[in-house]
Chains A and B, each alone.
Chain A
Amino acid sequence: MAIVYQKTKGLTDAETHYCPGCTHGIIHKLVAESLEELGVLEKTVGIAPVGCSVFAYDYFNCDMLEAAHGRAPAVATGVKRVLPDHVVFTYQGDGDLAAIGTAEIVHAAMRGEKITTIFVNNAIYGMTGGQMAPTTLVGQRATTAPLGRDRNHAGSPIRMAEILATLDGAAYIERVTVISPSHIMKAKRAIKKAFELQMEGRGFTMIEVLSSCPTNWGLTPVNALNWLNENMIPVFPLGVFKDVTKEEV
């Protein structure tokens, strides 16, 4: 019988610890499948962040380093400079990348570091129990914003894809989501393209993935996807913000 689907070799057999309905798992799968399809798993080094995806080093079936909170782009820089022929990626949450690690991601992008960042934006600090993130929507409740994020007090959400796209070192920046099969297929194409451009040495690549956190949003998995669609996408529009391959006509 012909095999129509099988689990990617890019993931180990470890059971993940993600909550039911969390989309971190889908994003892992897309990254792993892309690496497998490109035939580069054996020369890939991944960097796990601090956040819900901290155990990513047990899930991706390639060499992995666990970085300090927010420092994954600096760790990836160290790896890539030593192993320029390898594929190097970071997998980071929004607290990790857009709060404590802002300097590291901006400067990795500025240098045009030939790495790929998978930026999982769920508008909250998942691992530590639902505290406000820099990406939390105005009015969205969090355990450190019990009445909802107040613009006067805490500002409004930071749009990292747009910010990083302004830097010359960025080769490809796209924001995607994984709330439906068609979105998932688009996200996969984006992730694969980012890895391809990294391998061509084009510069820094980042795919921001809008992701759900049913646990800390206090929603069922399905309602969480609907909430993301209705509330996050208007603030974080999907699309390509930088593509060097389009600039050179």
Chain B
Amino acid sequence: MAKELWKGNEAIAEAAIRAGCRCYFGYPITPQSEIPEYMSLHMPEAGGVFLQSESEIAAINMVYGASGAGARVMTSSSSPGISLKQEGISYMCGAELPGVIVNVMRGGPGLGTIQPAQGDYYQATRGGGNGDYRLIVFAPANIQEVVDLMQEAFELADKYRMPVMMLLDGMIGQMMEPVEWKRPALSPEDLPAKPWATTGTKGERRPNIINSLFINPDACNDHNRHLEEKYQRVIENEQRYEINDADEAEVLFVAYGTPARLARAAARLLGEEGIKAGVFRPITVWPYPYEALHEAASKESVRAVVTVEMSTGQMVDDVRIGVNGIKPVSFVGQAGGVIPTPREVADAARKALGR
């Protein structure tokens, strides 16, 4: 099929519709407003629901309701708005409701800046809401990958009955790239039934209840155990990552999203000087591909692991867990909307190698 030029935010919206999503609730915020704008036109065309909510809190709770009613549903926002969604995300996890949440990250904390950043990594992977819960978090690095992952995001959300987050930095939301629509578009009729949904009993079954309250501590503990077992299954089955040019690499970059592209550019710069560098790129940042990273870092050639982020260093914690002390781990990054240059990244690698 022919390639088309798409802007990241619009591509993710279109990919959602092609994944059978017929329900979108959201509130404007830069740098993701093209998503609700696109949805406002194209969701009704597809026979779906678009609604601009009064806040991100309302949007995520509309997602909760629509998901409870059995719909494939999504919301999107950027960092400050995602903070407001944390309550609803926690409730969705507790009530085991599927849904896709897109975060096109900008600089923080607080109002920060509208420029691209990755400062929400802890929030996405550790949970910004209350309680023991997890999200599947995809961190695509180009627009083709964004659209390829979108259908999978909805599928996994339905399969595990949990929210899935698409964690993009603002760069990926705002830039344009060629996209090929590889998967056939789904319509809601193609999707698996949800016998647990609150769609009215129709006199055919006992009432369904969507709920996250377990007032009895033993029941609440059991529920947590049940969720934990589910998360373990996700950990076992859903880790995604990519490794580039790691053979004989002296330095292993670890980066997700836009910094993974910078790391590749830095690897080329180093290659010109005869320093071999590889890039390990987690595609799911939860579940984090710890073992795969450990294996990549344990190669004899690797002398240093360098984490690259558009933050002051958050994913580096996971890198340290994965590498587990077998190789030195260092960090290079810029926060608050400043993007590190490939030269800075290459310099950090040289320093880590002691050159």
A67 interface residue per 8 A CB criterion? yes
User: Is B212 in contact with A75, judged by CB distance below 8 angstroms?
Assistant: no
Closest Cβ neighbor of B59 among chain A residues: A74
Known: A64-B207, A82-B49, A103-B54. A54 touches B213 (CB 8 A): yes
Q: Is A71 an interface residue (CB 8 A)?
A: yes
Docked-complex contact B201 and A62, CB < 8 angstroms? yes
Inter-chain contacts of B49 with A (CB < 8 A): 81-82
A75 near B201 (CB under 8 angstroms)?
A: no
Bound-state CA distance A41–B205 (Å) is: 12
A66 contacts B73, C-beta separation under 8 Å: no
Please name all residues of chain B whose beta carbon is closer than 8 Å to the beta carbon of A86 when the two chains form the complex.
199-200
Shortest A34–chain B CB gap in Å is: 16
Residues of A within 8 Å of B209, CB to CB, are 57-58, 63-66
Contact A78 B200, beta carbon cutoff 8 Å: no
Q: Given A75-B65, A78-B25, answer yes or no on A65-B211 (Cβ-Cβ < 8 Å).
A: yes
- Is B227 an interface residue when CB atoms closer than 8 A count as contact? no
B210 contacts the other chain (CB 8 A): yes
Q: Which residues of B contact A55 (CB under 8 A)?
A: 213
A79 within 8 A of B: yes
With an 8 Å Cβ cutoff, the count of chain B residues facing the other chain is 39
Q: Closest CB of chain A to B275's CB: distance in Å?
A: 52
Closest to A80 in B: B65
Interface of B is mostly: mixed
Complex Cα distance A63/B57, Å? 23
Smallest Cβ-Cβ distance to B201: which chain A residue? A42
| A47 to B209 alpha-carbon distance, docked (Å) | 10
Nearest-neighbour CB distance to chain B for A50, whole angstroms, equals 8
Given contacts A71-B61, A107-B53, contact A66 B95 (CB under 8 A): yes
Shortest Cβ distance from B71 into A: residue: A82
**B-contact 0/1 string along A86-117, CB 8 Å cutoff:** 10000000000000000110110000000000
Q: Which residues of B contact A74 (CB under 8 A)?
A: 53, 57-59, 61-62, 64-65
Instruction: Decide if A82 touches B200 in the complex (CB within 8 Å).
Output: no
- Asked if B211 and A66 make an inter-chain contact with CB atoms under 8 angstroms apart, the answer reads yes
User: Measured between C-beta atoms, what is the minimum distance from B60 to chain A in Å?
Assistant: 8
A78 with B203: in contact, given A45-B198, A54-B213 (CB under 8 Å)? no
Query: Does A83 lie within 8 Å of B64, measured CB to CB?
Result: no
Contact A62 B207 (CB under 8 A): yes
Query: Which residues of chain A have C-beta atoms less than 8 A from B212's C-beta?
Result: 66
Q: Establish whether residues A79 and B203, one from each chain, have CB atoms under 8 Å apart when the complex forms.
A: no
Instruction: Name the distance in Å between A169's Cβ and chain B's nearest Cβ.
Output: 13
Q: A62-B201, A63-B199, A64-B210 are in contact. Are A81 and B66 (CB under 8 A)?
A: yes
B207 pairs with A61, CB closer than 8 A: yes
Q: Output the least CB separation between B266 and chain A (Å).
A: 44
**Contacts A78-B73, A81-B23 given: A65-B64 contact, CB under 8 Å?**
yes
B292 within 8 A of A: no
In the bound complex, how far is the Cα of B200 from the Cα of A41, in angstroms? 8
- Residues on B with beta carbons closer than 8 Å to the beta carbon of A104: 54, 57-58, 61
Interface residues as binary, B64-80 with A (CB distance below 8 Å gives 1, 0 otherwise): 11111111010000000
Tell me if A215 counts as interface (CB < 8 A to partner B). no
Which chain B residues lie closer than 8 Å to A41 at the CB level? 201
Whether, in the assembled complex, A19 has its beta carbon less than 8 Å from a beta carbon of chain B, the answer is no
Among A57, A62, A75, contact of B200 (Cβ-Cβ < 8 Å): A62
Beyond A63-B201, A78-B73, A104-B54, is A68–B66 a contact (Cβ under 8 Å)? no
A151 at interface (Cβ–Cβ under 8 A)?
A: no
Residues of B close to A62: CB separation below 8 A: 200-201, 207
Verify if B55 is at the interface (C-beta below 8 Å from A). Answer: yes
User: CA separation between A67 and B210, bound complex, in Å?
Assistant: 9
CB-CB under 8 A from A76, the residues of chain B are: 65
Which A residues form the contact surface with B (CB < 8 A)?
12, 41-45, 47, 54-55, 57-58, 60-68, 71, 74-83, 86, 103-104, 106-107
6 tightest A-B contacts by CB? Answer: A78-B65, A74-B61, A78-B66, A63-B198, A75-B65, A78-B62
Can you list 23 pairs linking A and B with CB atoms under 8 Å apart?
A: A12-B207, A42-B203, A43-B202, A45-B200, A63-B200, A63-B201, A63-B208, A64-B207, A64-B208, A65-B211, A66-B213, A68-B87, A68-B88, A68-B91, A74-B62, A75-B68, A76-B65, A82-B69, A82-B73, A83-B200, A86-B200, A103-B55, A104-B61
List the interface of chain B (C-beta within 8 A of A). 23, 25, 49, 51, 53-55, 57-59, 61-71, 73, 87-88, 91, 95, 198-203, 207-213
